[in-house]
């Protein structure tokens, strides 16, 4: 009998979940997906602020979405997650993880006791005193992670794993599809944007930027009135307009461009930082995903500012679809479910 697990993406304004059967097989099956809105303030940058409110939303998500499994994988990936290059003497991964609290205190902005630490090995390299393992140190604020885990327990769910959201995205959009070469994955969420740069499917670099699609909506809210079109609708209607602009929309277009320009510049600078530190590993393509990436004209603007090819990533190329699921429907809004799908597929890792 096929076993299934649910990846849960806790966003600032939406809960999204994807249930996958046989995550460890060569072609897992996506069984169902669903989302429910969250009240404002219940979650901030992926951290649960109101556990009872979010637990109630999770119960609604399970009921309305028809999810069968109560085993879940959660993601972490806000600006309070740190990822840094780290090289350590060659030893087993278990021993490396045990040694982290003694090795990394000076690299952290918080006490080691307040952090959850992990190490993601990339390659073995030669060191002055013998072989070394080069990888990424991952550190997350413990209280924030535990708050999310405790909230799922309130909803009657069991958290079997907590995964890094940028790695979950890399898994489903780069590693499993076997995208070759040096590729930057940019996922634009509501309040954060994550950047992962991978070489032949192996993540080498990660940053979480504290801006997202909601920044544009909030900027539009500041210039709107109760009588005008809702800011989110204005954003989706106008996007990064390139044609003639009606006089009534001029201020909104200027606002969208101002915020988006700052975000695009930050993305360009992040990619350039990697390239400048690793000149032999030039990025040749950018993949974009997430709700914020659906802003009209954004892929084209990112391509223009970086000088790189930009493609909208397809999360569903390596999974089978269960009964009743439509690939056409998924491609219309499915990019928003890439995180949850990647989290569920992490059970195969």
Give the CATH number for residue 115. Answer: 3.30.1490.300
In-domain check, residue 6 = no
In-domain check, residue 146 = no
Residues 130 and 229 in one domain: no
Residues 209 and 295 in one domain: yes
Residues 203 and 250 in one domain: yes
Residues 210 and 264 in one domain: yes
In-domain check, residue 99 = yes
Residues 194 and 283 in one domain: yes
Q: Find the largest Cα–Cα distance for the chain.
A: 69
Residues 215 and 269 in one domain: yes
44 forms beta bridges with: 47
How far apart are the C-alpha atoms of 9 and 6, rounded to whole Å? 10
Please report, in tens digits, the pLDDT of each residue of the chain (349 residues total): 468 999 999 988 899 999 999 988 888 999 999 999 999 899 987 889 999 999 999 999 999 999 999 999 999 887 678 888 899 999 999 999 999 998 888 888 888 999 999 998 988 888 888 899 999 999 988 988 999 999 999 999 999 999 988 899 999 999 999 899 999 999 998 888 999 999 999 899 988 888 999 999 999 999 988 778 999 999 999 999 788 888 889 999 999 999 999 999 999 999 999 999 888 889 999 999 988 888 999 999 999 999 999 999 889 989 999 998 988 888 877 678 999 999 999 854 4
The secondary structure element, H or E, covering residue 4 is strand 4-10
Angle at 199 between CA 196 and CA 204, to 5 degrees: 50
Residues 104 and 197 in one domain: no
If one counts the domains in the chain, the total is 2
**Domain limits at 117?**
81-141
In-domain check, residue 271 = yes
Domain end, chosen from 89, 122, 141, is at 141
How far apart are the C-alpha atoms of 9 and 311, rounded to whole Å? 23
> Are 44 and 25 in contact, with CB atoms under 8 Å apart?
no
Residues 206 and 307 in one domain: yes
Residues 203 and 301 in one domain: yes
Residues 183 and 133 in one domain: no
- Residue 94: how many CB atoms within 10 A of its CB? 8
Residues 137 and 186 in one domain: no
What CATH number has the domain bearing residue 250? 3.30.420.40
């Amino acid at each position: 009998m096929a076993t299934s697990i649910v990846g849960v993406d806790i966003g600032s304004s939406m809960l999204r979940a994807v249930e996958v059967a046989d995550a460890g097989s060569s072609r897992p099956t996506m069984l169902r997906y669903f989302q429910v809105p969250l009240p404002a303030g219940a979650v901030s940058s992926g951290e649960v602020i109101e556990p009872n409110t979010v637990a109630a939303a999770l119960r609604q998500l399970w009921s309305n979405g028809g999810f069968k499994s109560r085993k879940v994988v959660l993601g972490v990936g806000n600006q309070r997650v740190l990822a840094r290059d780290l090289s350590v003497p060659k030893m087993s991964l278990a021993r490396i993880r045990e040694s982290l609290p003694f090795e990394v205190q000076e690299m952290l902005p918080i006490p080691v006791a307040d952090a959850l630490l992990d190490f993601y090995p990339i390659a073995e390299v030669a060191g002055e005193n013998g072989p070394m393992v080069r990888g990424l140190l991952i550190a997350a604020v413990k209280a924030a992670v535990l708050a999310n885990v405790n909230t799922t327990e309130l909803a009657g769910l069991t958290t079997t794993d907590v995964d890094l959201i940028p790695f979950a995205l890399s898994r489903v959009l780069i590693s499993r599809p076997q995208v070759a070469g040096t590729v930057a994955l940019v996922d634009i969420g509501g309040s954060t944007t994550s950047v992962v740069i991978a070489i032949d499917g192996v993540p080498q670099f990660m940053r979480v930027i504290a801006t997202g699609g909601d920044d544009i909506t909030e900027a539009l809210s500041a210039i709107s009135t109760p009588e005008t079109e809702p800011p989110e609708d204005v954003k989706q209607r106008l996007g990064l307009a390139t044609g003639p602009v009606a006089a009534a929309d001029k201020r909104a277009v200027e606002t969208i461009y101002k915020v988006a320009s700052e975000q695009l510049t930050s993305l360009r600078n992040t990619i350039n930082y990697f390239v400048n530190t690793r000149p032999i590993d030039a990025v040749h393509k950018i993949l974009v995903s997430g709700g914020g990436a659906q802003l009209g004209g954004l892929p084209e603007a990112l391509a223009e500012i970086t000088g790189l090819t930009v493609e909208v990533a397809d999360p569903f190329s390596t999974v089978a679809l269960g009964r009743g699921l439509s690939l056409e429907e998924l491609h219309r809004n499915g990019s928003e479910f890439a995180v949850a799908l990647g989290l569920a597929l992490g059970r195969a890792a």
